[in-house]
Amino acid sequence: MNLRITLAAGLAATLLATGLGPIHAQDYPPPHTHRVCRDVQVRDKPSDKHQIAGTAIGAVAGGLLGHQVGGGKGKTLATVGGAVAGGYAGKKVQENHQDNNATYHIERRCHEVSD
């Protein structure tokens, strides 16, 4: 029992010495501050943030077009290159479409300011 009392007293002394004692309501917010709030327009996140649909459609179309070019190993290389280029182009088209059709909402943001 004496060990508990000794530990509790030591913890209390440590907290008081370091200034980590109890926080009272009058201590926060610090004196001479006021709250500033403003309404901010925030863009909603798209449901397909990785543009998967555009990338997939572009890759298939690019692969099909690339397959029409070359022969032998060149045909395989053209198919792969077409798929990569088509996927990149499809992603950019989808990204642009999402940017043009973006939706927004208003959020109220507040913070404390010292006088």
Per-domain residue ranges for the chain? 41-115
pTM for the model: 0.53
User: In this predicted structure, what is the pLDDT of residue 23?
Assistant: 58
Arithmetic mean of pLDDT, 105-109: 94
Query: Both ends of the chain: CA-CA distance in Å?
Result: 50
**Sequence-ordered list of residues with C-beta below 8 angstroms from that of 80, at least 6 positions apart, any chain:** 63, 66
Arithmetic mean of pLDDT, 35-64: 88
